[in-house]
Amino acid sequence: MEMDNKKMIIGIVVALLIVVAIFMYNKRKKETQARKTAMLLGEQANASNASNLDEAVGQTKGIEGYKPTAERLAYRLFAAMDGIGTDEKAIYEVFSGKTKSQIATIKLIFDEKYGKGESLENWLKDDLSISEYNKVMSIINSAV
């Protein structure tokens, strides 16, 4: 019985250490990305594939008929970025093959329902590395 208690305490300590390690990792990643974003913003002026999301979607107001699909995709973006880690592939998939109006609609819904006060662009900048962010922006910029 005493052995079981010891094992349980060791288990709890190990679990706590893992939680702390994940927290530290996430914090560090966020800090690194904040630095990368600062660098990116400095480079943005002459990097065509790193342009502003609003510019890329042409300030369009989105399209009504696309809303149910856009709603699902906006949630998919949120699920891909919320919490620990990021599902980059899901993010690329959401934007791939979409028109500028469709992307604008997804962005409007994301900002309104899932952004928690932050724009989709800020979420992408926060969660993605520079090269991943550039890849997303090049997909968005190639939309017609």
Binding site for Ca ion (CB under 5 A): 81, 86, 127
Query: In angstroms, what is the minimal distance from the CB of 87 to Ca ion?
Result: 9
Q: At what angle do helices 67-81 and 100-109 cross, to 10 degrees?
A: 60
26 Cα distance to chain centroid: 14
Q: Cβ(37)–Cβ(50) under 8 Å? A: no
Q: Measured between alpha carbons, how far is 77 from 82 in angstroms, rounded to an integer? A: 8
Give Cα separations from 44 to 37, 90, 114, 142 (angstroms). 10, 25, 26, 17
Of 92 and 141, CB closest to Ca ion: 92
Query: In angstroms, what is the minimal distance from the CB of 53 to Ca ion?
Result: 18
Of 99 and 119, CB closest to Ca ion: 119
DSSP 54: H
Of 6 and 89, CB closest to Ca ion: 89
Of 121 and 127, CB closest to Ca ion: 127
Q: Measured between alpha carbons, how far is 76 from 71 in angstroms, rounded to an integer? A: 9
Q: Measured between alpha carbons, how far is 39 from 35 in angstroms, rounded to an integer? A: 6
Query: In angstroms, what is the minimal distance from the CB of 136 to Ca ion?
Result: 14
Query: In angstroms, what is the minimal distance from the CB of 18 to Ca ion?
Result: 18
Query: In angstroms, what is the minimal distance from the CB of 82 to Ca ion?
Result: 6
Of 86 and 105, CB closest to Ca ion: 86
